Amino acid sequence: MNGSALMLTLGEDFISEKTIKHKDGSIETKFQIRDDCEKKVYNFANDNKHLAIKNENFKDKMDGMHGNEVKFFEQIYSTKEAYVLCNSFRKIVKNSLRNVDLGQDDKYNKYMNKIQVSYMMKHISLKK
């Protein structure tokens, strides 16, 4: 995780809640990004850069720390967990399709020699 990770409230419309009932009777709630919301996640990330943990536009008076950094660590300290949206870039340089010879450009994987941005929701929790 880096400073460009966006803090999430779990109220975003691209996050779904899943309840898991275990054999021992315990119930666990998990949150995940819905599969059909790639465009919504991308738009959210572009429109809400002010939610980045390290937001350069807002300075707090405490030792030069930024406001979102303080909010992030206060949330982890008080609730013992936080959810963030992280992005990373992937470079695809290999063709995964088989039986393709040189010169058969129409048969190449459409993502070959491309750069993709992928978003991932991370759950950060403190353990005792």
- pLDDT tens by residue, 3-42: 788 989 888 989 888 888 889 988 888 888 888 888 899 8
Residue 30: give the domain boundaries. 6-125
Shortest CA distance to 67 belongs to which of 52, 83, 78? 52
What is the C-alpha separation between 122 and 106, in angstroms, rounded? 37
Tally of CA atoms within 13 A in the half-sphere of 80 that contains its CB: 3
Residue 69 lies in a domain: yes
Residue 107 has pLDDT above 70, yes or no: no
Residue 1 lies in a domain: no
Q: Where are the alpha helices (DSSP H) in 1-128?
A: 38-47, 67-79
Residue 58 lies in a domain: yes
How confident is residue 96, by pLDDT bands cut at 50, 70 and 90?
low
Mind listing the pLDDT tens digit for each residue in 32-90?
888 888 889 989 998 988 888 886 655 544 445 557 888 888 888 899 999 999 988 88
Cβ neighbors of 53 (< 8 A, separation 6 or more) are 1, 3, 4, 5, 6, 7, 66, 68, 69, 72, 84
Both ends of the chain: CA-CA distance in Å? 21
Please report the pLDDT score of residue 84 as a whole number: 92
User: What is the mean pLDDT of the segment spanning 88-114?
Assistant: 68
**CB count, 10 Å around CB of 3?**
13
What is the C-alpha separation between 15 and 83, in angstroms, rounded? 11
Residue 95 has pLDDT above 50, yes or no: yes
Residue 92 lies in a domain: yes
Residue 15 lies in a domain: yes
Q: Are the beta carbons of 52 and 5 closer than 8 angstroms? A: yes
Please report the pLDDT score of residue 54 as a whole number: 82
What is the residue whose two structure tokens read 């459409």?
110
What is the number of structural domains in the chain?
A: 1
Please report the pLDDT score of residue 18 as a whole number: 87
Please report the pLDDT score of residue 61 as a whole number: 47
Residue 41 lies in a domain: yes
